[in-house]
Chain A
Amino acid sequence: MVADLPELTFDVLTQGHIYARRRYDITADLIDAYSMAIGAPRRIVARPHSEAGAQLAPPTLPAMWTPPRICCDRWRIPVGGIHTRQEWQSLAPVFAGTVLDLELELVRKWIERERRFVLFESRFRDASSALVACGRMTVLWPK
């Protein structure tokens, strides 16, 4: 039950702590659904170093799992956070059938004009531990 989890308040947040480790399967159906949401066409392209075609995910697809309310399953995240900035790097193509491991780290928290901000860094690695995407999300944390 989510209600039984400890609340992740601003005071509890600790810089350098890993708040989520999750594994995600990139399926063809998921790629189709995400592509439809953002208005992207289905893309079948050749994998690197291969002639075979495969369904390619939009480069921002993994980013959808990076908000703390989505990936932090050991904490209750307070409602009302405002996403203020998103940085994202897609370093390698992600094809259907890929499994990605997410790690979410709090890299900074600060107070500015009485508003509480947090900066989370997300890193996605493939089965060979290669970094395929990473991002930084700034959130105005709810009081």
Chain B
Amino acid sequence: MSDSSSDALGPVEWTVTQQQIDQYAAISGADDPLHVDPAFAATSRFGGTIAQGLLMFGQLAELLVRQAGDAAMTACVTLDVDFRGPVRPGRTVRLLGERAAQTQSSSYALTCTDAEAKLLLQGRGSIGREPG
């Protein structure tokens, strides 16, 4: 676990695979052909399959939660993320958090970018006090 006073989360590099997308589809039900059917997705405006937005959202959240340390594992977690671009299998993305504020919670600006530094996800997340 990282030091909870750190000003940065990551960066973490991650390459999503079609197998991971398929596995996530199996457990969540997010089996839209845009995610799991390469032939269908090839005819879409994306030109191929893309990862489920909530799969990437979970990855970004994990970056934040990992920071919190064991003592804060059961604390309130708040996230607000815009999806700016698709994440394609085989492409490596970079997940990063930068401290935004330190009040009652630890708040971070969160980003996911591709190899060309294009923003794919952008938002903020915080871990607050433990629930009563």
Contact = CB atoms under 8 A, between A and B. Distances in A.
B39 interface: no
Interface size class of A (residues with CB under 8 A): 35 or more
A85 to B, nearest CB: 5
B23 A67 contact: no
Interface size class on chain B is: 20 to 34
Interface stretch (A1-9, A11-19, A36-44, A112-120): A36-44
Q: Quick one: which of A56, A85, A86 has the most chain B CB within 10 A?
A: A86
A86 B123 CA distance: 9
B81 to A, nearest CB: 5
B112 to A, nearest CB: 13
Q: From DSSP, what is the main secondary structure of chain A's interface residues?
A: mixed
A59 B61 contact: yes
A5 to B, nearest CB: 15
Contacts of A52: none
Interface string A87-122: 111111100000000000000000000000000000
A58 B76 contact: no
Between A37, A48, A79, A90, the greatest number of chain B beta carbons within 10 A of the residue's beta carbon is seen for A37
Given A37-B20, A58-B62, A79-B32, A45 B79 contact: no
16 contacts: A37-B58, A40-B62, A40-B65, A45-B70, A56-B73, A63-B54, A64-B28, A64-B54, A64-B58, A70-B30, A83-B83, A86-B57, A86-B79, A87-B81, A88-B61, A88-B80
Given A65-B28, A85-B83, A90-B77, 11 more contacts: A38-B59, A40-B65, A45-B70, A48-B130, A58-B62, A80-B34, A84-B82, A84-B83, A85-B81, A89-B78, A93-B74
